[in-house]
Amino acid sequence: MTFLVTKKMHPALAERIEASVTGNQRSRGKPKPRTVAIIRIAFFLSLALFFWAVVSLRAAPGRKMDRMLENAQRGAGGGPNPSSAAPMSSAEK
């Protein structure tokens, strides 16, 4: 028994005070602060990862289009190049 508990106190209150002072487990079933902190960190990290994935997936088609346009401007677009084009007709006059 500690000095914080008196005989006039309600037994439930005295038990809670004793448990708090001695560091015993909580009787109400509340999670420990460390557990709550880990859950909060995991939640916010998963939320940040989700938003990063959404943003990067939405930006991916735009980047692909940009690369295609750059290749087309450089002449590597897959079409015929004027410097390497051969005459299209087979009949020579």
Q: What is the pLDDT of residue 77?
A: 47
DSSP calls for 1-35: --TT--TTS-HHHHHHHHHHHHTPPPSS-PPPHHH
Comparing 60 with 32, the larger pLDDT belongs to: 32
pLDDT of the residue at 34:
94
Q: What is the pLDDT of residues 35-85, one digit of tens each?
A: 999 999 999 999 999 999 988 888 777 777 777 777 777 775 455 555 555
Q: What is the pTM of this model?
A: 0.41
* Domain boundaries defined on the chain: 11-73
Cα Rg, the chain, nearest whole Å: 36
Query: Which residues, 6+ apart, have CB-to-CB distance to 79 below 8 Å?
Result: 72
